[in-house]
Amino acid sequence: MNVLLQYATVLILTAFVGTEIIAKVPSILHTPLMSGSNAIHGVILVGAMLVLGSAATNLEEVLGFLAVILATLNVVGGFVVTDRMLEMFKPRQPKAPTTKSDGDTP
């Protein structure tokens, strides 16, 4: 039961920290927040790898195989689409035509 308690501790602390951080996300970025957090729950891929990697029966193999496919879809698609979206958010370009920077300051 000690392990369970440790997991519960992690869960509760994360819930509070997460809420604090996420509450600070401005509404302008709520769509990327959704797709970004979507990508993060794609971490279930790690779980899917573990169950397929320990599969002992054909049934487990089939289920695990499907789980890895779905989880990969989730994680890869999630990060790619979030990146594509965030790339579009640009500040106002400086009006002065003298500077030729791409606005790609670090």
Partner 1 sequence: MSRETLIDLLYLFSATTFLVALKGLGSPKHARRGNLVAAFGMLVAIVATFFKYVDGHSLHHVGLILLAMFIGAIIAVPTARFVEMTAMPQLVAIFNGVGGGAASLVSITEFVHIKSSHPATYVTLEVLLGVLIGTVSFAGSAIAFAKLQELMTGRPITYPGQQIINAVVGLIAVALIITILVSGSTPLLWTLLALSFVLGVAFVLPIGGADVPVLISLLNSFTGLAVAASGFTLGSNLLIIAGTLVGASGILLTRLMSKAMGRSLSNVLFSAFGSVITATGADGGEARSVRSGTPEDIGVLLSFASKVVLIPGYGLAVSQAQQVLRELAELLEAKDVQVFYAIHPVAGRMPGHMNVLLAEANVPYEDLIEMDEANSELQTADVAMVVGANDTVNPAAANDPSSPIYGMPIIHADLAENVVFLKRSMRPGFAGIDNELLYNPKTILVFGDAKDTLTKLVAVVKAS
Site for partner 1 in 41-100 (CB under 8 A): 41-57, 59-61, 63-93
Please give the size of the binding site for partner 1, defined by CB under 8 A.
Answer: 81
Residue from the set 5, 26, 98, 100 that interacts with partner 1 by CB under 8 A: 26
Smallest gap from residue 100 Cβ to partner 1 (A): 18
45 in Cβ contact with 71 (< 8 Å):
yes
Smallest gap from residue 62 Cβ to partner 1 (A): 9
Nearer residue to partner 1 within complex by CB, 70 or 100: 70
**Chain centroid to CA 19:** 16
39 in Cβ contact with 79 (< 8 Å):
yes
Residue from the set 2, 21, 96, 101 that interacts with partner 1 by CB under 8 A: 21
Binding of residue 14 to partner 1 (CB under 8 A)? yes
Please give the torsion angle defined by the CA atoms of residues 57, 58, 61 and 64, in that order, rounded to the nearest 10 degrees. Answer: -90
Smallest gap from residue 99 Cβ to partner 1 (A): 16
Apex CA 79: angle with CA 24 and CA 85, to 5°?
A: 65
Biggest CA-to-CA distance, the chain: 68
